[in-house]
Structure 1
């Protein structure tokens, strides 16, 4: 899922100054959990438990995600410096499943930097990148590193996972059933679909014509 038609610059240097690195985000999550809290203002028990599971998911992803040769080859063709801004929250299961793969892709290129913004602290940004009218995360916005021109977007989840969620909603499955199906899919996929989706996006984003002086 990608767009390049946002003519107005949404994300500014001020936003990037407030952004977290992936390691800072993980450390923040760990510190909040030690106080039985999560990101945002709602520290309900179920959200804290989701956050605890998500920390395990991220740690597992850090160990199990392996970049494919095709993806690595695509990264070699990139000659544009980019910032990937990802809207996220620690209680979000999709964010936990996808962040390790996104970060590994970026770390495999010296030209890509990942910055994380907490969704509920940056509603101005989130509301510029809604999915079907909703504040779905994770949402990645690719920017030219020099001009902050928007190059495209991805998210909130790989297409097969999105279809699974839409089907579950159509069938009116409860949240627990839907989550089991969704995370079962993520467990089997191991970020392979994520990587496959990023191969054409990398090529597309690297060749977007400069429109900001």
Structure 2
């Protein structure tokens, strides 16, 4: 495991939100008709409002596979799952509630949230194909040894994006609806399977 403590100075750690704090931030920016980050627009404010509704729904309905729960429960060292995100990000809204729900059965796991655009050095250490794609989950132990990473989206959704970028025959807003339909049909199954595979691989590598 590589040590990434240099990416998490005290200023970064102090700036991390709990999940309840992050949800409160989402609610606040929606009430103010804005979003997080330096870029503001009516479209991003609209996406943020949709994302809040999605997260509130998923917070109530997320159901974790028994097989994933068993792997999570076997974690025996304290660790923090840092998630880089922004309120306007649709993929974050679709995946964060399930990641949080998966963590809840094991008190050794702490989940914290960092805004991408407030933490460029950390984000740039975890680029996806050269881009600052979010959400990005970075799991570290108490000494900030990297345990695993995940993100920005399940493989199936990532493949849809790759195909769209290779042949953008529709608008991005239309593509966003395609991604939304993919998430609805998938019902968090892909994310849960990928998390389980990552945690099982970590356990084997011990």
For structure 1, list consecutive stretches of 5 or more residues without a partner in the other structure: none
Other-structure match for 2:75: 78
How far is the alpha carbon of 1:12 from its aligned partner? Answer: 3.2
| 1:98 and 2:115 matched | no
Question: Secondary structure, in 3 states, of the residue corresponding to 1:202?
Answer: helix
Other-structure match for 2:51: 54
How is 1:26-175 mapped onto 2 (pairs within 5 angstroms)?
26-144=23-141, 146-172=142-168, 173-175=170-172
Q: Distance in 2 between matches of 1:60 and 1:33?
A: 16
State whether residues 151 and 208 of structure 1, in contact with CA within 8 Å, keep that contact through their aligned partners in structure 2: no
Q: TM-score, normalised by structure 1?
A: 0.90
For structure 2, list consecutive stretches of 5 or more residues without a partner in the other structure: none
How far is the alpha carbon of 1:35 from its aligned partner? Answer: 1.4
Following superposition, which runs of at least 4 residues in structure 1 exceed 6 angstroms of deviation? none
Deviations 1:122-143 (A, max 9, x none): 0110000000000000000010
Question: Secondary structure, in 3 states, of the residue corresponding to 2:148?
Answer: strand
How far is the alpha carbon of 1:77 from its aligned partner? Answer: 1.8
How far is the alpha carbon of 1:207 from its aligned partner? Answer: 5.9
Question: Secondary structure, in 3 states, of the residue corresponding to 1:94?
Answer: helix
Q: Quick one: which of 12, 15, 18 aligns to 1:15?
A: 12
State whether residues 54 and 90 of structure 1, in contact with CA within 8 Å, keep that contact through their aligned partners in structure 2: yes
Other-structure match for 2:195: 198
How far is the alpha carbon of 1:79 from its aligned partner? Answer: 1.0
How far is the alpha carbon of 1:76 from its aligned partner? Answer: 2.4
Count of residues paired in the alignment: 204
Q: TM-score, normalised by structure 2?
A: 0.93
CA RMSD of the aligned region, Å? Answer: 1.5
State whether residues 32 and 39 of structure 1, in contact with CA within 8 Å, keep that contact through their aligned partners in structure 2: yes
Q: Distance in 1 between matches of 2:195 and 2:20?
A: 22
Q: Distance in 1 between matches of 2:34 and 2:129?
A: 29
Q: Distance in 2 between matches of 1:52 and 1:59?
A: 11
Deviations 1:98-140 (A, max 9, x none): 0000100111211111110000000110000000000000000
